[in-house]
Amino acid sequence: MFELHHLTAQEQLDWLRRGDVTPTELSTHYLERIERLDAGLGAFTTVTPDAALERARHVEQHVPKSAALWGLPLADKDLWQRAGVRTTFGSRLMENFVPAESDDIVAALDEAGGVSLGKSSAPEFGLSAYTESLVGSPARTPWDTAFGAGGSSGGAAVAVAAGLLPVAQGSDGGGSIRIPAAATGLVGLKPSRGRVPTGSGFLSLGGLVAAGPLARTVADAALLLDAVSGPSPWSVGPPSWDGGALLNAAVRGEGRFQLGVTTTSPWDDSYDITVSPEASAALERAVTELDALGHGLEPLRLESSPEYAPAFRTIWQAGAADIPAEGEQLELLEPLTRWLVARGRELDARGLATALQQLALFERSVIRQFASFDAILTPSLALTPRPVGWYSQDDPELNFAQQVQYTPWTSFVNVSGLPAITLPLSMTDAGLPMGVQLIGRPGREDVLLAIGAQLERRIAWQKRHPPQW
């Protein structure tokens, strides 16, 4: 039986603008699904039905239908503040915090005509690659709820994959869009540094964080990215193409490109990285499909970078240093966060400056190594989605190593400021999604969207759905 969430986000927006469905009716449809299904999924920390329906009526009466996301249901990641709505940052420390003002990314989504249904779940202060916060239920991949959805945009990914939202905005400081997209079978796009000036995020030391979309289709991802992209008074955007809206590239899906293929990562010098058979199989399928489409492919091996791991660890720890917890409040933090705060506050200015310089030099090195390619192909994740509770809660060093081993190809893209897209290429024999990642040149999201559209046409991953669908 047909239901509204079976439409793509693009199609839902068309229906809204034609008057085939109203923002109130569409929001009500999703709110009913959230109420019925989310208890076993953990997509939302807070749901705001009354405020959502009031907002939907406001959009109907006062917002022009030309608004980019007119009446489309969305959610705010629980690291973003919305005035008057509980914002926990995934932490018991902030469990009852209600902000007086909204963050810029929230205001941008409102300006585009979106309707927020609540707060999508996130790990504590967005610091981990899994979403198992103590202020809410773990975010579970809807394909098999024994397994986690990744992080930090885990709740947003679950909501889209399970049909609780048409599309969702996430943020990515080390893979936080691409990891949960891969674990839930979605398209996840981290844009170039500066593409979304309102999405700098929380704890964005080193300029690592970028806001971007999670979607079921490449075109839906482009639709949401276009809605929040653009210059602002305080930001200089990255280089771009001359084809207008990024949605144009996603719809046309044109071009033949030269691609580098690698399974090496800058973590290889410091950690034992093993590529699982499932990750290898997804990569091999991508190579086969891209070759059939006429793209050029050649192997690439990243240069050794032993300074990367200690420098990134330093930035990660320093980013936690200003979490507003002192004395007994520290006991409200989860063990990993408490360890990060302690290590971050032990750093001196010289150590932080050295780490920032090393990562800036690494950025230049990566862009130089990638210069002869239009895009670089890697697996999305080295391992299949991890079981809920898999990450160590007692040993922070082991926890960090587990995160690196799970997702070795995402953080260095943030350091480099490059765009990257995760595509849900295949399913394992156990019924879990596995994807691949394409990394682009600065400002060339259009190339990633075009290649993604070509693969989507061949594989039709948008027709796969988890049991909750």
* Catalytic residue numbers, as ranges: 77, 152, 176
Task: Look at residue 225 and give its three-state secondary structure.
Answer: helix
Report residue 57 as tokens: 């009526």
Helix (H, G, I), strand (E, B) or coil at 213: strand
**Contact status, residue 170 vs residue 194, Cβ threshold 8 Å:** no
List the beta bridge partners of residue 440.
375
- For residues 279 and 262, the answer to whether their CB atoms sit within 8 Å is no
Helix or strand or coil: residue 81?
Answer: coil
Question: Among 357, 371, 356, 263, which Cα is nearest to 315's?
Answer: 356
Rounded CA-CA distance 369/302 in Å is 7
| CB-based contact 85:119 (threshold 8 Å) | yes
Q: What's the token pair of residue 139?
A: 């975010």
What's the number of CA atoms in the CB half-sphere (13 Å) around residue 49?
9
For the chain, helix (H) and strand (E) counts, in that order, are 15, 11
Which residue is it, tokens 């990569």?
283
Straight-line distance from the first to the last Cα atom of the chain, in angstroms, rounded to the nearest whole number: 11
Contact status, residue 398 vs residue 392, Cβ threshold 8 Å: yes
Contacts of residue 216, defined as CB under 8 A and 6 or more positions apart, other chains included, come to 8, 9, 160, 161, 167, 186, 187, 462
CA distance 120 to 149: 12
Q: Report the alpha-carbon distance of residue 13 to residue 9 in Å, rounded.
A: 6
Helix, strand or coil for residue 334?
Answer: coil
Rounded CA-CA distance 406/431 in Å is 18
The per-residue DSSP string of 238-302 comes to PP--SSSSHHHHHHH-----EEEE----TTTTTS-----HHHHHHHHHHHHHHHHTT-EEEE--P
In our burial notation (b when 16+ CB lie closer than 10 A, e otherwise), range 189-214 reads bbbbbbbbbbbbbbbbbbbbbbbbbb
